[in-house]
A and B are shown apart, each in its own frame.
Chain A
Amino acid sequence: MREALEGSLAIARAVALCKPDVVAAYPITPQTHIVENLSRLVAEGEMHTEFVSVESEFSAASVVLGAAAAGARAYTATASQGVLLMAEVLFNIAGLRIPLVMTVANRAVSAPLSIWNDHGDSMAVRDSGWIQLHCVDNQEAVDTTIQAFRIAQETELPVMVCMDGFVLTHTMEIIDMPSQEEVAGWLPPFDFARKLDPTDPKSFGMLVTPEYFAEIRHAHHAAMTRALPVIDQIDRDWAALTGRSSGGLLEVEGDPAAEVGILAMGSTVGTLRAGMAAHAEAAGPARIIKLRAFRPFPAEALREAVKGLKHLIVIDRAISPGLGGIVGTEVAAVLADMADRPRIHNHAIGLGGRDIPETIYADLMAAIRDPDAPAFSVFDVDLEKLAPEDR
């Protein structure tokens, strides 16, 4: 049913539709409303879930790890410093190949303290071995949350649903909420084959000597690679039920004949769409590549998506100091062996919640024409604010 809903409330209701057995979370801006709404749904008896209030994100992640290992469908949510405090457990969850779902309400990481949106937090745990899916709008965030529970149980991997903090979590917009019947018929009961069972004792997370560690990492990498078609297929299955795709691994939009492509993750795509609609005549057309799956990285699909492009603008919402863009560097690596690969223009934009205006589209398109432009820049930096030695 179509409703005008705040993103966080919609996510809480989407999680409730998936009937998790255990939810454990510690509130942190801008994820707070998700947890508050889940807590309210449990308190009002609309959601039959063991809601575990914890004293930190480290405990939240530990509780859902244990719950899922014991065979419970489990969910948590966090952001920013919360992701970092969880980091050790996130690597454990993935390394143990525990299927569970976590929402990251993407927010910048301190210092300096910022409560606002960028992707610094989920990027900091990029190599933890979690599936990471990015959402363009709150409809995709709702649909991806439900899909994530099925992806997790089919792949036996944990899934991080990344949604831009404030920009999505605190935005009210029209969302078509699935019904309980639709979700119940689509999402099979949680059945974890390796669950802890006193009648069939197993051990998790034992010491692994050098004789086996490489094999376990290899197997994890192989499992992530095998998750690529699963993520795509589950999105198709969801689309068959609801008529709505969230874009599989990645989605190509805009002008297929354009020689310029713009690749972005998350809500920035919406502003790029609006910017192209308003300025395509003056600034020229582009092919917009909406990257949904960041881990596992859809290398083959990306090579297909960029065919025929002369230029590819890659937008990062985080920075790796001393290197530059993270998505941009990965895209360059994946395209390196293509014969006619596009020239890559990598920009970090909107760090720490810097507003991304509609004019960004035209500004990015204009920057291509600068032959002296560096391969990477913080695009919206105002150097006048810095002392000369910091520029």
Chain B
Amino acid sequence: MIEIRIHGRGGQGSVAAAYLLASAAFEAGFTCQAFPSFGAERRGAPVTSFVRIDSVPIQLRAQIRAPDFLIVQDDTLLLDHGITAGLKPGGAMLVNSGRSAEDVEKAFACRAFCVPATAMAIEEIGKPIPNTALLAGFLALTGLLPPAALAAALKGRFKGDTLAHNLTLIDRAAAAVPQGLWKEPADA
């Protein structure tokens, strides 16, 4: 079972990101579970969401305490050093940020990569919603699911221009990361 914890702020689509990743896993033939943890229900407040991907039915309902991967939608959340709590040894963190990966790796003593997903999203979809770009980058880094699975999940959720622009965005974000860099923890 692969466990992914997504950290974001209300309005950035952290719950949608979890649902899209679970849908993509389903499209690729895996079992999946995605759910949010709400605190204060308002824009800007920290939101955490969780995704489990497996090949057998998933029974566990607990929040993810020892994730294989972290996806961080807002780099101001890195001010809380507890964000990597429980990250498995060898696990990795993808951050929506213009910072250098080395900088984040040094600060958190874990594997990390940064993608300027908000800037990409503004250019491609006209909105500062980084979730789909981050998911595309995450899947390219890990090779966890084929890119077509994410595209299929997007087609199940969006229509028209929103879909078209997001499909362009995920291609661009996937190309912006080293393919398969985190394949080894994803396979384990």
In contact, A4 and B22 (Cβ under 8 angstroms) = yes
CB-contact partner of B35 in A170, A268, A357, A358, under 8 A: A170
The docked-state distance in angstroms from the alpha carbon of A173 to that of B35 is 9
In contact, B61 and A277 (Cβ under 8 angstroms) = no
| Proximity bits, A92-132, B CB within 8 Å = 1, else 0 | 00000000000000000000000100000000000000000
The docked-state distance in angstroms from the alpha carbon of A358 to that of B25 is 23
Is A172 interfacial (CB-CB < 8 Å)?
yes
The docked-state distance in angstroms from the alpha carbon of A271 to that of B25 is 21
- Chain B residues, CB < 8 A from A356: 61-62
CB-contact partner of B19 in A6, A271, A273, A277, under 8 A: A6
Is A274 interfacial (CB-CB < 8 Å)?
yes
In contact, B34 and A357 (Cβ under 8 angstroms) = no
Highest count of chain A CB atoms <10 Å: which of B33, B35, B41, B59: B59
Question: How many residues does chain B have at the interface if contact means C-beta atoms less than 8 Å apart?
Answer: 23
CB-contact partner of B65 in A3, A173, A174, A357, under 8 A: A357
Is A270 interfacial (CB-CB < 8 Å)?
yes
Is A377 interfacial (CB-CB < 8 Å)?
no
Is B58 interfacial (CB-CB < 8 Å)?
yes
A-side binding surface: helix, strand, loop or mixed?
mixed
A115-B38, A357-B65 given; A173·B33 CB < 8 A = yes
A172-B19, A172-B22, A357-B65 given; A270·B60 CB < 8 A = yes
CB-contact partner of A172 in B34, B60, B63, under 8 A: B34
- Chain A residues, CB < 8 A from B19: 6, 172
- Chain A residues, CB < 8 A from B38: 115, 166
Question: How many residues does chain A have at the interface if contact means C-beta atoms less than 8 Å apart?
Answer: 24
Is B72 interfacial (CB-CB < 8 Å)?
no
Is A56 interfacial (CB-CB < 8 Å)?
no
In contact, B32 and A267 (Cβ under 8 angstroms) = no
In contact, A274 and B33 (Cβ under 8 angstroms) = no
Is A363 interfacial (CB-CB < 8 Å)?
no
The docked-state distance in angstroms from the alpha carbon of A173 to that of B34 is 7
| Proximity bits, B1-31, A CB within 8 Å = 1, else 0 | 0000000000000010011001101110001
| Proximity bits, A171-186, B CB within 8 Å = 1, else 0 | 1111000000000000
A6-B19, A174-B26 given; A166·B36 CB < 8 A = yes
In contact, A270 and B59 (Cβ under 8 angstroms) = yes
In contact, B62 and A174 (Cβ under 8 angstroms) = no
**29 sampled A-B residue pairs with Cβ under 8 A:** A3-B26, A4-B22, A4-B23, A4-B27, A4-B32, A115-B41, A166-B36, A170-B15, A170-B35, A170-B36, A171-B35, A171-B61, A172-B18, A172-B23, A172-B33, A172-B34, A172-B35, A173-B32, A174-B26, A270-B61, A271-B59, A273-B59, A274-B59, A277-B59, A356-B61, A356-B62, A357-B65, A358-B60, A358-B62
Q: 4 closest A-B pairs (Cβ-Cβ)?
A: A4-B26, A274-B60, A171-B35, A274-B59
What is the interface of chain B, defined by CB distance below 8 A to chain A? 15, 18-19, 22-23, 25-27, 31-36, 38, 41, 58-63, 65
